[in-house]
């Protein structure tokens, strides 16, 4: 980055962070409500009713954190972009900043990733509140941090693709067609290796980048559960971030120059 562009990048990012800081309660309510109820119903209610084993809550918690990080980043990128490129035209103000156009797209990804990281960290005290305790190992912190960062970046990169390729009148349909399969094929509620008896579904889940966030966090926090090796998960997430990021930036440039 040149000095002027780097300064402008930080200024735009800091403005977005300050806006989110002023709206922190509503932001947390939006991103925490769904995972909170997932933890409460599947991790607390079903176990106390005897429909699930007590250990299932430990298996579920890493997947819910992964889900929070990935989907928060995706939605925080895609939805504002759809709005900015439609009737508000707010994107025009950002394009007037002394920044290369591609950096405006990257700022969107970085900001969405920061929101996702905040939401995923908040899930740890929420998990303690709902479940009583959550699986944790002090030595797992570096891997957990790396996975959350890469998972948030992969989610924001996919959000950039969606946000630059979907028109406002179709966003609800596209989100219904994309988010629901992502939610239920991302191994957030079950370990990937347990699907060996459902081989076709195991293959389907392997195509979902959320699977590798869930599996890496599960391996870090509950290593006794069979999981995909962490290095494989990190490699796939890095590749997904690069691929979706390149597609998203290309789409952003096309929409910005139209």
Distances (CA, A) of 166 to 116, 125, 181: 22, 36, 18
pLDDT recorded at residue 89: 61
Give the pLDDT means over successive 10-residue stretches in the chain (258 positions).
72 78 78 86 86 85 95 90 71 71 88 93 92 88 96 95 81 80 91 93 95 96 92 97 94 81
- Tokens 């007590």 belong to residue: 54
pLDDT recorded at residue 35: 87
Q: For 158-189, b where at least 16 C-beta lie within 10 A, e where not — what string?
A: bbbbbbbbbeeeebeeebeeeeeebbebbbbb
- Coil/strand/helix, residue 186: coil
- Rounded to two decimals, the pTM is 0.91
131 and 39 in contact (C-beta within 8 Å)? yes
pLDDT recorded at residue 122: 93
């Amino acid at each position: 980055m040149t000095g002027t562009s780097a300064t402008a990048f930080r200024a735009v990012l800091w403005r977005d962070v300050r806006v989110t800081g002023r709206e922190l309660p509503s932001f947390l309510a939006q991103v925490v409500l769904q995972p909170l109820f997932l933890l409460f119903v599947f991790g607390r209610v079903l176990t106390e009713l005897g429909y699930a084993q007590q250990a299932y809550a430990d298996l579920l918690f890493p997947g819910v954190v992964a889900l929070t990080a990935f989907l928060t980043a995706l939605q925080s990128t895609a939805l504002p972009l759809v709005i900015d490129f439609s009737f508000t035209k707010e994107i025009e103000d950002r394009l007037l900043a002394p920044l290369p156009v591609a950096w405006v797209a990257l700022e969107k990804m970085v900001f969405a990733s920061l929101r996702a990281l905040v939401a995923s960290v908040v899930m740890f005290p929420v998990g303690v509140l709902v479940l009583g305790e959550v699986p944790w190992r002090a030595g797992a912190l570096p891997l957990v941090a790396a996975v959350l960062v890469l998972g948030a970046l992969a989610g924001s990169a996919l959000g950039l693709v969606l946000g630059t390729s979907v028109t406002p009148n179709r966003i609800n349909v596209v989100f219904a067609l994309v988010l629901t399969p992502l939610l239920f094929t991302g191994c957030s509620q079950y370990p990937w290796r347990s699907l060996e008896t459902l081989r076709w579904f195991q293959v389907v889940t392997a195509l979902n980048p959320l699977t590798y966030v869930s599996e890496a966090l599960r391996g870090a926090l509950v290593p006794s559960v069979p999981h995909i090796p962490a290095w494989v998960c990190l490699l796939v997430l890095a590749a997904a971030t690069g691929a979706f990021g390149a597609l998203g930036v290309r789409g952003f440039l096309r929409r910005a120059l139209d």
